[in-house]
Structure 1
């Protein structure tokens, strides 16, 4: 691990309750985010030193950002630099905390009397709070955010930008919720912040996400909470109590590493009737790889060598790895139906359509004998996506890539519409 001394550190750009931000002189557009050993509650009404917290927080937030970036979420995070610091893109922050809730607890109950603790929000409950310590971070409406006319790094925060942050917060929460579920932990709620990258002028997830940022209840049990609420609830801050808080933070920092590991194996096996279909199959393989799914290409013909086709099928059924078969066969497609009739694994037909007889040939993939359940998807990318959706049911890393892809598609459309409207005006 490199040390902070190896960077050319410039002036301090900002300092919060738990971190400091420094410019990196020889790397324009990047900053060093240095964590502190301080822990606070109630807008620093309660404030204590917790030895080792900086390293624990940096370890946690680095793992979280790595998980989100691998999924495809745009963040300011660049790399972990030392035990207590990471390098990030220089952002001008938007002074709003976005809070996403799955379970009603904490301040929500105080502001909404009559709602019982444990009430489950479906869809997720979104709230915004203006960062203003002097006034205890008041809750704001979307209208207040719009009327504030924030302009970080020259980007005017209007309806488009607020919608993007809203949608992004939901996607980020859902990805982390799915990840923590693999550890039998309920992500109860979470707060995040966005900034505008000063070089790209894009809105990105910024600041940090560590054990100060969420509520985590192992097995959904509030009495087992592992987050900063334990510190908030202390009636008296003693050395013994602080050790208990620290153990909880360490528990989270150890578990968060496991969120980067897949809990399930998977595989797509593409069967092509001829090597003339190789280009079509390579597109499927490339798309599978983008979801982190191994993909194997094989050549076999259900018409010319049905025994070999079934032998290949048995080869992939016998090792216990969950598998989706994709049948790529033009003209009369017997490959998909034969596979579907002889395996309990999912089978997807993805026939290469030719301009001459394609409209007639596709019926051999669509019209199946009774008892066959294979689907037909003409696009190689879409066939891989469908396989990813199947594996995403049990693999949170695959699911997170799908979820981030949905978000990024929506954001691209939103930005394109904004640009078109600006041109029209």
Structure 2
């Protein structure tokens, strides 16, 4: 498989990887992992056979999870057991560190803070990549004054804000995913680059077991990350095997982050087939969150027995379900469903221009004892269902979280463009 790509010159080499240009794929590079493991800016350096494959596997799974959520990354595809293809980026020389729990270097720089202090909101820090000076911590002001420009993009306040927000979102997505394995994501470092083709800031580099601290069951004594290597008093072949087993443990479980044990479903009930267009919009939005959606036609006015039979059909198989009632004019569908099921019911009536203002009250003003809510937008109805499922399904939740980030970024960039035009 490796022979299929025509490698050009080596563009960069770091402690644990090499970057090669791809002659037959302009705008892309090959990221080749190495078997080297380091600590303390290479003060400690060893060869750990098999690390390249383990790191490559871990990065591939992490980036796939983030991309499926909706985060823009440089990752394109796995190429071999030790390499992957990525979009070519000009890297921004900053490590963005996000912390949930105080430990490590934070305690040394902040005496008096006890290990285990929990940051809510997350603690965000920046470190300038400079091995000669041990990667000094930087402020936003220093980054602005550096006046960096990469791939034609000037790094100013807007770009810093985007990377800040993205770092927090990426951490929260991975934190949520790791919690399904009863594993606490303690802290994490990531890097961004400017895509040389699209000129946008994207998550780049790698995210592997060198990038974070992981504590199973929140217990530091069970740590599975590179800290195990840092803590070694003496590096022996036996000790390296212990470190390798920890890395393998992470690589095996990171694959499970792409799976969910919790199934879910939205069932859209329409009072008339004439509402099919409205319902198809709900279905499309549900599918964007990875939620299966079923469309049914039933009238609570004209066939209440059939409506309740359909309800029982979806209650009986044990799949967590949200019902969406689509009924115009007099909405009896949502109230009847809500009064006869413990599952969530959302009213999403198709509002018409003639009697819509009057009809909406049949969805808003419910008899006592009914808990169905009303949402007018088909997209918003699907989003509300996703928020319900996201409480127990991390793959749905991460899509919601990434969508929040992308909406914020689009507004930020729109404001920047408007200000540039005004100026």
TM-score when normalising by structure 2: 1.00
2:319 is aligned to: 321
Q: Work out which of the residue numbers 96, 103, 106 in structure 2 matches 1:105.
A: 103
1:4 is displaced (CA, Å) by 1.8
Query: What is residue 292 of structure 1 aligned with on the other side?
Result: 290
Tell me which of 316, 319, 337 is aligned to 1:339: 337
Which residue matches 2:64? 66
Q: Which whole-Å CA distance do the structure 2 matches of 1:26 and 1:369 have between them?
A: 67
Q: Tell me the distance in 1 between the aligned counterparts of 2:212 and 2:365.
A: 51
Look up the match of 1:92. Answer: 90
Structure 2: state its 5+ residue gaps.
Answer: none
Provide the aligned C-alpha RMSD in A.
0.3
Q: Say how many residue pairs are matched.
A: 423
Alpha-carbon distance in structure 2 between the residues aligned to 1:88 and 1:169: 19
Deviation at 1:204, TM superposition (A): 0.1
Match of 2:308 in 1: 310
- Determine the structure 2 residue equivalent to 1:375: 373
1:60 deviates by 0.1
1:394-421 deviation per Cα after TM superposition (whole angstroms, max 9, x unaligned):
0001000000000000000000000000
Q: CA deviation at 1:44?
A: 0.6
Question: 2:77 & 2:375 partners in 1: Cα distance?
Answer: 39
Query: Paired residue for 1:228?
Result: 226
In the other structure, the counterpart of 2:403 is 405
1:28 counterpart SS class: coil
Deviations 1:104-132 (A, max 9, x none): 00000000000000000000000000000
The residue number in structure 2 matching 1:125 is: 123
C-alpha offsets along residues 352-372 of structure 1, whole Å, 9 cap, x if unaligned?
A: 000000000000000000000
Name the CA distance, whole Å, in 2 between partners of 1:246 and 1:27.
34
Q: What secondary structure is seen at the aligned counterpart in 2 of 1:408?
A: helix
User: What SS does structure 1 have at the residue aligned with 2:154?
Assistant: coil
Partner residue, 1:170:
168
The CA distance in 2 between the partners of 1:410 and 1:53, in whole Å, is 37
Contact 1:182 1:263 in 2 (8 A): no
2:52 to 41, 54, 58: 54
SS in 1 for 2:258: coil
User: Cα offset for 1:5?
Assistant: 1.8
Tell me the CA shift for residue 262 of structure 1: 1.2
Runs of 4+ in structure 1 over 3 Å off: none
CA distance in 2 between counterparts of 1:87 and 1:390 reads: 36
Give the equivalent residue in structure 2 for 1:148.
Answer: 146
Paired residue secondary structure (2:310): helix
In structure 1, what is the equivalent of residue 193 of structure 2? 195
1:422 aligns with 2:423: no
Q: Distance in 1 between matches of 2:2 and 2:43?
A: 31
| Contact 1:9–1:24 (CA under 8 A) maintained in structure 2 | yes
Distance between the aligned counterparts of 2:76 and 2:147, measured in 1? 29
Within the candidate set 93, 113, 116, 2:114 is matched to: 116
Structure 1 counterpart of 2:179: 181
State whether residues 96 and 129 of structure 1, in contact with CA within 8 Å, keep that contact through their aligned partners in structure 2: yes
Long gaps (5+) in structure 1:
none
How far 1:6 moved relative to its partner? 1.4
Q: Does 1:20 align with 2:15?
A: no
Q: Does 1:247 align with 2:245?
A: yes
Please state whether the residue corresponding to 1:169 is helix, strand or coil.
helix
